[in-house]
Structure 1
């Protein structure tokens, strides 16, 4: 391999970073036949000095996030195939009852995502696997036999050797000084040893990513953090231990610790201290390492106070005390190695993957741990080569890791470091799915925010937006409506006001803040032709009509489901969700728009606000406010009009995500305060109630309306997702060929509604669906249906199990619940309420 020798003047692809992610990408590109690939790194090959060099290499595969679990599982298998993985199993212990219940759920996530062999162990069984653990200190543990240790440096070298044999060139000791661009495209990579012209550049530098982001004017919301790792001297409990019989990895997440065996020594990784954040520009270069006594630039000097003093804001004891309690042998040992090692966090804890938005040919693969490194390389290589993210050739939903999910405020130092510190602090914490971030809040407030706060709105953070989930004022409705109790975990961060709002909207009328919904205006002489080639449904409708449509990637996976309203021959408005969905969807639309001037795309991500007025009395509330005729004949279902509500210019859509009579009403943001007041005042006579998004979610589930990101993702095509009615094969659109192939091959999975048989029972999403004791699917979305009085789950079942009336079981916290496959929609199947 080359190390600092003469660089080529040109390459089709340059990968910056020869750690495990960069080498994985090079391996997969070579495997797919991509030629003329060059990899450069500022450090020596392959112990480059980045996070790969000091990472303990623990591969715990189970997580509640399907993408992360699948990437970890792929990484395990890939590195094992090179002989760079040691299967020893992994045990996560429970110190509290809350953690024990969590481990039950965690085991079920593993079963849902295809991880086999996971089991719950008693405290005695944990000690049988890891004898140095104090049995009295724990309640039990979750054990996955296929977990283990990756040798990240060796795996990088193995992948690079495979790639080199297929023509990939590697150059170490070659620091990148610039990424040259012109005309919105990559031109070249400039290094201290020369310049390489390139068509594609992949940045896989992890902790140094923000520095290269600055070079190309791309915000990279990533913060390097240091955590502690210590290796003991020989301990009696491991005397005579052989590498072939290594003990399982051990995690003690109640105190932010992990452990692994090093022969007769024991290693401790600790997040049990205050966040130690680092500025990328302050990461030491090789010239300072010797002076500081450090081996790699990604290391910091060990800080004893963070191990022997309690500096973590959420813990009640030091890392040393907690480690010694669990493993008493560590209480009087000496340490042969002590480091503060760097890795990175993003504001949401997910990786950064995908193509740069401002520069064609520039790609990113950052904020990735060894655990997911092999899988991340597969995904980004498939994306670069074939245009869509895949893992081992199969479609994946990578939207949660897409670089374009980030909103404008995430580029700020204050936000990235504030949320990065929180992600570090909570990495091993027991965080409830509905628990909200504490820092960097109140950034994006809709025009109704203060009025909603007065009504006791419970605000959730949604990409910076403060979105009401329910209103405390509606707890006063509980005397009118029956809302079942929820078990302790599911009742946390939840209010029975949710159930009352759901039923009140069904019986009377509710008003829902839809400010986060994003209108995307497409106009110009080429608007119709452009949208016909982009969307699955025929948008050649008369002015004032709407169509529901999907937008697909080249593999036929659903990128978005949209409401498309036509207002003139040359003007359409597409409506999608807010935050990351708006960012991702609008980017796809904008990038596919013709550049001949025939189409202009305007994204109203903040310049519009909206209110949904839904329920049997919605027409009564609005009829005297609006200039338009709201009768069925004049304003039928799935039509749109631009009119006035009082003096406010509004766009009104006759539809309802709740499945009731209703309208979505959009106006310029500056009119929002008056819009709320006018509707609320007119609604007093009809007992109108403010309704949060929890109720809108549960009403939409009853109605069978899909939610992008949960039951609609790029993993599935429209036929699998149950929205084949929004596909018109008489038009030509992106993804049509793949869709035709899929239809010819036959649909193997299809989404179905499932109801729990026991009244009042509710479960969370992510848990396995079983038929005859075999896991056949998992609940991708779940809630309670207060109008049908049953718990609901949606799942992509194999088609042989989708018969209506089929009995299945859903596993939740170790219990099995009887459930039944249903046909949808579960509520108002004849659409009588929508059409009245």
Structure 2
């Protein structure tokens, strides 16, 4: 191992951070053929002093989403091969009935994402595996036999050794003091032992990440947090324990606790206290550590009040009392060690991966736990080497961890700390998927916001935007429309107003706030050639025409599905979704724009508002307001016009995500309040209803329209996603070669709709689709809702091509029940498009 005093003058790749993430990245880069890799760390190798050094190393593989689960499973396999992992199994216990139901769903999601052998245990079965617990205080547990403990330091050293044998060099006790950038490119890593010129730099420093962002003027939305870990003295139940045969890991998430065996001793990890945030610049240096008797910079002195007193805002029991209730012998135990150990959270709890937009050659791999460290290293290494994120060589949807998912406000200290604290507080909490953050709200509001409040809008946070999901005032129409009830969990954070709005747009007219849709303006003499290169469909159409297209990466994975309106010979607007689409999709366009000035890319996510007017009466409502002729002949389907709605300048697109006759209208933001008033007043005689995004989502499912980020992601290509009609292989675009190969080879999986056979039944996303009476997962639900027009629950899922034929019987496992369903042809509603074309 290279630990000498002399650093190299230059390197192809410099990795800053020799913890498990940095070592994983170096290991995978060298496996992909890179030889000129240098890894530096301010601490000694490989117990460097960061989170890797004190991490208890629990690898519970079933994560909150597919990406985190896949990374954890890969980490387990990798570290097991490197002798840095001990398989002992893992159990999550349920203290409450809600948690027990949650564990049923978690087991099913694990099955969907490839976790094998997961099972639900009775309280006594949990106690059989962990004898020191009191089975009387729990309702059961979720057991995964392949979970276990990663020794992060040993795994880091093993990965480093293999990387070194392939040419990589590692240097400890080397502090990076600056990153030098010139003309938008990374140039030099400056250390206290010399400088290294570098083609690429990967920052894998976790809790110190924001300090490196400060060096180069890049916001890194991450905040270090401290949590507690204690190790008891010997417990009677563990006396004479065989160190080669260890108990399963244990999580008590209802009280924000976890446990692991240390021979005859027992370790307790606690998040059961208030959020203990740390500013990166305040992390202790060597002198302070020595004064406090602390071993690593990532440690803080133990604060006993956070263990023995209840300081967590959502709990009514201190960590110590909760631990002793589950493990009674802890009441008589002493604790031989206790620390406050640092790790970190981002505003959404996901990692930060990928390249910096503003600085070529500068990469990040941050906010990653040991659990996902091996997988994160694989993804970022493939991304750096191949230009596409892959996990173990396979396509992966890393969008949720992409550094560019953050919106501008996320760089603020106030936002990062507020949301980071909330993520810490909720890390083990039972959070409903529809439960919304309470902190840092109301940041971005459309000009319709005040009127929507009056109408009882239920707002969701979407990239900082307040986005109406439904309107309470529409519940008054339940006398007119029958809406099925939903079971307890699916009923939470839901309103029957969604069903009302769904039905109303089908038989009258509705107006939808579409301000969060992002319009990306592409102009210039080279605009057509540029978009032809980036999009799968032929967009060289006459002005006024609209095209639907996908935007793919080199693997053919779908980065976005977009609507493209050509408004003039040299001017297009590319419309994409809300949330992180504004930054992710516009970045791809900017990065691929030519440098010769022939193309300008302008993201209009903050200066343009939008309203969708959909339904059979939409033409009648708008005709009295709009200067343009709205007849079929003058304004046909899938065309666009720039006109006026009374005095408001608008761009009108004749299309409808609800699958009805309708138009989307976009205007400069300052005209928005008047735009809403005019449409609402004109629609009054037609019974116009305000419609939220929940109903727009369910109506779009009935029509088979795709939703990027759920059923359309980089993990799938357009043929698999059922949008091959938007691929024109006569044009030359990024990803074409991969799609030609895919078409020639035929698809192995296909996105299909499934309707549930039981009247009124509905399931949720992420649950396995099974053969009738079988236990093997064919696929899993990517999107689900109720189809109020067809009066059936709908689930979309990717199934093997052989199992995707219409009429096939399947079952969906949800909360330990099995729901019979039938694969259908699509669309399920208005297959001849009569409603949209009338």
Contact kept? 1:271, 1:425, Cα under 8 Å: yes
Instruction: Report the Cα offset of residue 243 of structure 1.
Output: 1.5
Match of 1:269 in 2: 269
Match of 1:434 in 2: 434
Contact kept? 1:16, 1:202, Cα under 8 Å: yes
Contact kept? 1:764, 1:783, Cα under 8 Å: yes
Match of 2:642 in 1: 642
Structure 1 stretch 626-635 or stretch 1-10: which is displaced more?
Answer: 1-10
Match of 1:625 in 2: 625
Match of 2:424 in 1: 424
Alignment of 1:667-706 (within 5 A): 667-706=667-706
User: Is 1:801–2:803 an aligned residue pair?
Assistant: yes
Contact kept? 2:219, 2:411, Cα under 8 Å: yes
Match of 1:827 in 2: 829
User: Is 1:256–2:256 an aligned residue pair?
Assistant: yes
Residue aligned with 1:311, SS? coil
Instruction: Report the Cα offset of residue 4 of structure 1.
Output: 5.2
Q: Deviations over 1:246-281 (max 9, x none)?
A: 000000000000000000000000000000000000
Alignment of 1:470-509 (within 5 A): 470-509=470-509
Q: Deviations over 1:40-66 (max 9, x none)?
A: 000000000000000000000012300
Match of 2:707 in 1: 707
Residue aligned with 2:133, SS? coil
Q: Deviations over 1:175-224 (max 9, x none)?
A: 00111001111001000000000110000000000000001111000000
Alignment of 1:85-100 (within 5 A): 85-100=85-100
Q: Deviations over 1:671-726 (max 9, x none)?
A: 00000000000000100000000000000000000000000000000000000000
In 2, Cα distance between equivalents of 1:201 and 1:56: 29
Instruction: Report the Cα offset of residue 579 of structure 1.
Output: 2.6
In 2, Cα distance between equivalents of 1:808 and 1:235: 49
User: Is 1:146–2:143 an aligned residue pair?
Assistant: no
Contact kept? 2:271, 2:425, Cα under 8 Å: yes
Instruction: Report the Cα offset of residue 3 of structure 1.
Output: 2.6
In 1, Cα distance between equivalents of 2:686 and 2:827: 28
Instruction: Report the Cα offset of residue 357 of structure 1.
Output: 1.1
Alignment of 1:78-89 (within 5 A): 78-89=78-89
Match of 1:280 in 2: 280
Residue aligned with 1:243, SS? coil
Residue aligned with 1:244, SS? coil
Instruction: Report the Cα offset of residue 137 of structure 1.
Output: 0.8
Match of 1:16 in 2: 16
In 1, Cα distance between equivalents of 2:133 and 2:465: 45
Structure 1 stretch 280-289 or stretch 791-800: which is displaced more?
Answer: 280-289
Match of 1:818 in 2: 820
Contact kept? 1:783, 1:792, Cα under 8 Å: yes
Contact kept? 2:610, 2:666, Cα under 8 Å: yes
In 1, Cα distance between equivalents of 2:2 and 2:137: 52
Match of 2:57 in 1: 57
Alignment of 1:422-571 (within 5 A): 422-571=422-571
**What RMSD, in angstroms, separates the aligned Cα atoms of the two structures?**
0.6
In 2, Cα distance between equivalents of 1:768 and 1:112: 5
In 2, Cα distance between equivalents of 1:757 and 1:320: 49
User: Is 1:45–2:34 an aligned residue pair?
Assistant: no
Instruction: Report the Cα offset of residue 2 of structure 1.
Output: 2.5
Contact kept? 1:4, 1:193, Cα under 8 Å: no
Contact kept? 2:518, 2:581, Cα under 8 Å: no
In 2, Cα distance between equivalents of 1:469 and 1:202: 40
Match of 1:601 in 2: 601
Long gaps (5+) in structure 2: none
Alignment of 1:649-664 (within 5 A): 649-664=649-664
In 1, Cα distance between equivalents of 2:579 and 2:646: 30
Contact kept? 1:351, 1:367, Cα under 8 Å: yes
Long gaps (5+) in structure 1: none
Instruction: Report the Cα offset of residue 287 of structure 1.
Output: 2.8
In 2, Cα distance between equivalents of 1:445 and 1:697: 21
Residue aligned with 2:224, SS? strand
Residue aligned with 1:725, SS? helix
In 2, Cα distance between equivalents of 1:148 and 1:63: 14
In 2, Cα distance between equivalents of 1:744 and 1:329: 64
In 1, Cα distance between equivalents of 2:22 and 2:31: 14
In 2, Cα distance between equivalents of 1:570 and 1:466: 34
In 1, Cα distance between equivalents of 2:486 and 2:578: 29
Q: TM-score, with normalisation over the residues of structure 2?
A: 0.99
Q: Deviations over 1:295-343 (max 9, x none)?
A: 0000000000000000000000100000000000101100111000000
Instruction: Report the Cα offset of residue 173 of structure 1.
Output: 0.4
Q: Deviations over 1:815-835 (max 9, x none)?
A: 001000001000000000000
Contact kept? 2:258, 2:269, Cα under 8 Å: yes
Match of 1:191 in 2: 191
In 2, Cα distance between equivalents of 1:383 and 1:707: 25
Instruction: Report the Cα offset of residue 577 of structure 1.
Output: 1.0
In 2, Cα distance between equivalents of 1:814 and 1:606: 45
Q: Deviations over 1:540-582 (max 9, x none)?
A: 1011000000000010000000100111111111101123012
Match of 1:336 in 2: 336
Residue aligned with 2:244, SS? helix
